[in-house]
Structure 1
Amino acid sequence: MFRILEIGTDGLVVTHQGKEHIAPPPEGFIRWVDVTAQDEAQLEVLRTGFQFHPLALEDCAHFDQRPKVEEYGSYLFIVTQGFVVEGGSVENLKILELHTFLGSNYLVTVHSEGIDALDAVWKRAVGDGLLMRRGADFLYYLIADRLVDGNFPILDLVTEELESLEEEVLSEPQRENLSRIFELKQQLVCMRKVLSPQRDVLAALTRLDHPYISNRTQHYFRDVYDHLTRINESIEANRDLLSNALEAYLSSVSQRTNEIMKHLTIMSAVFLPLTFVVGFFGQNFHTLIGLPQWMESNGLMWVMIILCAIIPVVMIIWFKRRNWV
């Protein structure tokens, strides 16, 4: 689906639909063409109207590109990505990808599904002619800024979940904590793979010397670059926190295992002398040297009972004095 936003020399913002305006605007006009759910026919219309390079249009047909900026003579081809969480849960992290053609007086955006950041800028531009007058490069800045800033709430959710995980791991670690730690780590790696090269893209936009990126807009791109730097630093900090949570989990599990082994060892140590006593008095001999008819002696039976009662008590007291229990 095509939708077109345009402002002319009269300062009025006009919206169009259809294919007749899929071309660079006349002198003094600024045009924004937005394409949603693109297909081969729509990309062919873009190629015919704007004479875009086939390689750039081929990238638009497959939304699995790395953030990048490429120069094609009279325009830039920029791939920008962002993230959104569905249902307010970090588990439902979704990548948004936007392909942009930026010329001196036109902006063409291509995306496979709706992007809230782009729609918000579109609505703002419809009602504000001065915004359109600032140029196509400024429109792209507004979109990129909203896409980048949308990562801050996501990282806040990750941080909150990390803090909750740390509390659970330190109090009572569960196997579910380990799987959640690895899920969060995978999501942070995904964000880093996208936002780290995107920072390089914004850095390049602040240095490019082209007539369709004004010096004034380059200052705004530097602000977006600073935001991306903060986001990447936050991702690295959260990765460190995840590593600490993983170490805390493994340490807690190891300590718990050691405690279990300690109690089992103490029980074995207590029953070891009892086993000797019971085994000694359970010998299958009717007479022993110095103890004739010992199997029928009530006194020896009481000795065995007393030993079985006293030995565990004495050993536990000894363990406590040695701080083993």
Structure 2
Amino acid sequence: MPQSHDRVHPRRRHQTTSEWSTIRRPSSQATTFLPPGTPVFVGERKQDEATLHLIHFDRERLHEVEEASLADCRDCLPFPGLTWVNVSGVHDVSLIEALGGLFGLHPMTMEDIADTSQRPKWEEFPDYGFMALKMLAISEADAEVQIEHVSLILGPDWVLTFLEDDGDVFASVRSRIRRGISRVRSLGADYLASCLIDAVIDHYLLAVEWISDQIEIFDTHVLNHPEQVRIQEIHHFRRDLLALRRAVWPMREVLGAVSKSEASVVSDETGVFWRNLYDHTVQVIDMVETSRDTLMSLQDTYLSSLSNRMNGVMKTLTVISTIFIPLTFIAGVYGMNFQHMPELGWRLGYYGVLVLMLVIAVALVVWIRRRGWL
């Protein structure tokens, strides 16, 4: 086994969207008319160069290389223990093909790794299992949910993970491996894979809870100040929930298939952990559906508040118009300049008309109030 040592370098901080190089997103048409199993990157390139993070460990020893090479990965395979290789940057198709040759991956697996639009799924091969899933993260700056494609390959004594960027979504698992006090150092590769997926589902919970908190704040704002709310904000939340639903719903089917799998890479000993992940996914789905129902009710409340406010404005304007219509009629009649109008010669005619207008206005106000319209 290679010589053990501590971490070479600390993980780089997760880059924000503004720090990524602007590269046009290839469409799914990039794979059109190509033979099946041809790996072609489909997605948005989120970092300049792909990097490898290697961890090889057993119960007593740990070997970790932050900026690993293919040679480092090859050297660890003959030694006993578990090997975990994390690839940051699936845009490097040549690196994916090289790892595929080293670990004996099927060409269709390499194609699915490079396609970030792939739907979550679980596929079993003779020597390994392949899982595609979606990683969720909250962007506080943009106030939205960001989705990242994640691929996980479970072998007999090795695990490969592929991320779109170098965001350290598996930091908690690495910390447990380094401390050496968790069962992850003593159980097999399938338990390590379940821990990695558990970290992904934890991010699902954080994303759903964040959206639920935002909807609750938004709900209070709608009830108190509906005129300051824009319909675009409601559609923004609906878009985030739809993205969550698309990412989480297939995971129930995926984890159900893994928990019932008879593949050699999934042992009966870890079945309870996979079933626990299935339960957590169902919980997330319930939270997503609850948030969707709340948002739909919130949209109805918002539209009703706007309608009620508009009705109040129209009611006020109608009352004012009703009062001034007869006054305008009287003023219009006596505004005519006919020569033989008898009232034009009255000494107190001007004051009499003002008193008449005032009496009519007061009478209308009293009548409207008695009718309950004001």
TM-score when scaled to structure 1?
Answer: 0.90
Name the CA distance, whole Å, in 2 between partners of 1:67 and 1:131: 25
Identity of aligned residues (%): 26
Shift of 1:305: 1.8
Q: CA separation in 1, counterparts of 2:235 and 2:315?
A: 30
Match of 2:155 among 69, 79, 103: 103
1:304-315 correspondence to structure 2 within 5 Å: 304-315=353-364
Cross-structure match for 1:316: 365
Question: What is the CA-CA distance between 1:109 and the residue it aligns to?
Answer: 1.3
Shift of the alpha carbon at 1:153?
A: 2.5
Match for residue 191 of structure 2 among 124, 138, 156: 138
Does structure 2 retain, via aligned residues, the 8 Å contact 1:7–1:133?
A: no
More displaced stretch, 295-304 vs 10-19: 10-19
| Corresponding position: 1:6 with 2:56 | yes
**Structure 1 equivalent of residue 71 of structure 2:** 20
Q: Is the 8 A contact 2:84 2:158 kept in 1?
A: yes
Question: 1:229 Cα shift?
Answer: 0.6
Match of 1:235 in 2: 288
* Aligned positions of 1:274-313 closer than 5 A: 274-287=327-340, 293-313=342-362
Cα contact 1:137–1:213 (8 A) shared by 2:
yes
Query: Unaligned 5+ residue runs, structure 1?
Result: none
Whole-angstrom distance in 2 between the partners of 1:43 and 1:163: 43
The Cα of 1:312 is off from its aligned counterpart by: 0.7
Give the whole-Å Cα distance in 2 for the aligned partners of 1:15 and 1:263.
Answer: 74
How far, CA to CA, are the matches of 1:34 and 1:279 in structure 2?
A: 86
Q: Distance in 2 between matches of 1:203 and 1:114?
A: 29
Tell me how far 1:155 sits from its aligned partner: 2.0
* Residue 147 (structure 1) aligns with: 200
Q: What's the offset of the Cα at 1:175?
A: 4.9
Q: Which has the larger radius of gyration?
A: 1
Q: How big is each residue's C-alpha offset from its partner over 1:103-122, in whole Å with a ceiling of 9 and x where there is no partner?
A: 12211111121243323312
2:270 match: 217
The answer (yes or no) to whether the contact 2:88–2:165 under 8 Å persists in 1 is: yes
CA separation in 2, counterparts of 1:307 and 1:174? 40
Separation in 1, partners of 2:120, 2:151: 9
The amino acid of 1:82's aligned partner reads M
Aligned-partner SS, 2:373? coil
Displacement of 1:223 in angstroms is: 0.7
Map of 2:98 onto structure 1: 45
Q: CA separation in 1, counterparts of 2:94 and 2:320? A: 78
Q: Equivalent residue for 1:195?
A: 248
Find 2:279's aligned residue among 218, 226, 230: 226
Structure 2-normalised TM-score?
0.79
Q: Quote the RMSD (CA, aligned, Å).
A: 2.2
Q: SS of the counterpart of 1:148? A: helix
More helix by share: 1
> Which shows bigger deviation, 67-76 or 277-286?
277-286
Q: Hey, what's the Cα distance between the residues in 2 that align with 1:210 and 1:152? A: 29
Per the alignment, residue 238 of structure 2 pairs with 185
1:31 and 2:83 aligned: yes
Range 179-188 or range 90-99, more displaced: 90-99
Counterparts of 1:182 and 1:286 in 2: how far apart (Å)? 66
Secondary structure at 1:220 match in 2: helix
Q: CA shift at 1:37, angstroms?
A: 1.9
Segments ≥4 residues shifted beyond 6 Å: none
Q: 2:180 aligns with which of 122, 128, 132?
A: 128
Aligned to 1:298, the other structure's residue is in SS state coil
Give the superposition deviation at 1:21: 4.9
For 1:277, the aligned partner's letter is I
Q: Secondary structure at the match of 2:70?
A: coil
With over 3 angstroms needed to count, the CA separation of the structure-2 counterparts of 1:154 and 1:44, relative to structure 1, is closer
Number of residue-to-residue matches in the alignment: 319
* In structure 2, C-alpha distance between the alignment counterparts of 1:202 and 1:305, rounded to whole Å: 83
Question: How far apart are 1:276 and its partner, in Å?
Answer: 2.1
Is the 1:169–1:177 Cα contact (8 Å) retained in structure 2?
Answer: no
The answer as to whether partners of 1:4 and 1:32 remain within 8 angstroms in 2 is yes
Instruction: Give the superposition deviation at 1:220.
Output: 0.4
Kindly indicate whether residue 169 of structure 2 is the aligned counterpart of residue 94 of structure 1: no
C-alpha distance in structure 2 between counterparts of 1:98 and 1:180, whole Å: 29
